[in-house]
Amino acid sequence: AQSVSQHNHHVILSEAASLELGCNYSYGGTVNLFWYVQYPGQHLQLLLKYFSGDPLVKGIKGFEAEFIKSKFSFNLRKPSVQWSDTAEYFCAVITNNAGNMLTFGGGTRLMVKP
C-alpha cells in the first residue's frame, strides 16, 4: 500500500524566511500529488496539485512544489513566508491503483513569527 511521509512535524520560521517542507511517497506507478493547508480553525484547502506536465507547479499565495519522480518527492516551497502562512500543511497522493482514495502524510505545523 502507498504511504506518504512528511519529515518535518513542526517548523518555526521568522517572517521573510524561505520555506521548504518535505514530502515523500512510496508508490512506483502513476500518482497525482496534492498539498493541502489547514489554517487555524478552518477546513482543509487545496494549495496546489500535480497531475502531469511541468513538474514545477505553482499554487495559491506564492507557494510552489516540485515533483521529482526519481526521488518520489513533492516538496513544498515558498521563498518568503508571512505570519499569515501559519497553518498545518498536508501532503497527499492518489495512485492509479487506489481509485479515489487520498493518502495523507502526517502534516507539518508551520509557525511564522512576526
Partner 1 sequence: EPEVTQTPSHQVTQMGQEVILRCVPISNHLYFYWYRQILGQKVEFLVSFYNNEISEKSEIFDDQFSVERPDGSNFTLKIRSTKLEDSAMYFCASSERVFTDTQYFGPGTRLTVL
Site residues (CB under 8 A) for partner 1, limited to 85-104: 90, 92, 94, 96, 98-104
The burial class, CB within 10 Å (0-12 / 13-18 / 19+), for 33 is buried
Question: What's the one-letter identity of residue 69?
Answer: K
d(CA 34, CA 92): 5
Q: Which is nearer to partner 1, 29 or 114 (CB)?
A: 29
- Give me the sign of the Cα torsion angle 31, 19, 111, 59: negative
Among 28, 55, 79, 106, which residue sits at the site for partner 1 (rule: CB under 8 A)? Answer: 106
Q: Does 2 bind partner 1 (CB under 8 A)?
A: no
Instruction: Tell me the Ramachandran region of residue 28: left when phi exceeds 0, alpha when psi lies from -120 to 50, beta otherwise.
Output: alpha
Among 27, 36, 50, 63, which residue sits at the site for partner 1 (rule: CB under 8 A)? Answer: 36
Q: Does 72 bind partner 1 (CB under 8 A)?
A: no
Q: Does 46 bind partner 1 (CB under 8 A)?
A: yes
Residues that bind partner 1 (CB under 8 A): 32, 34, 36, 42-46, 49, 51, 90, 92, 94, 96, 98-107
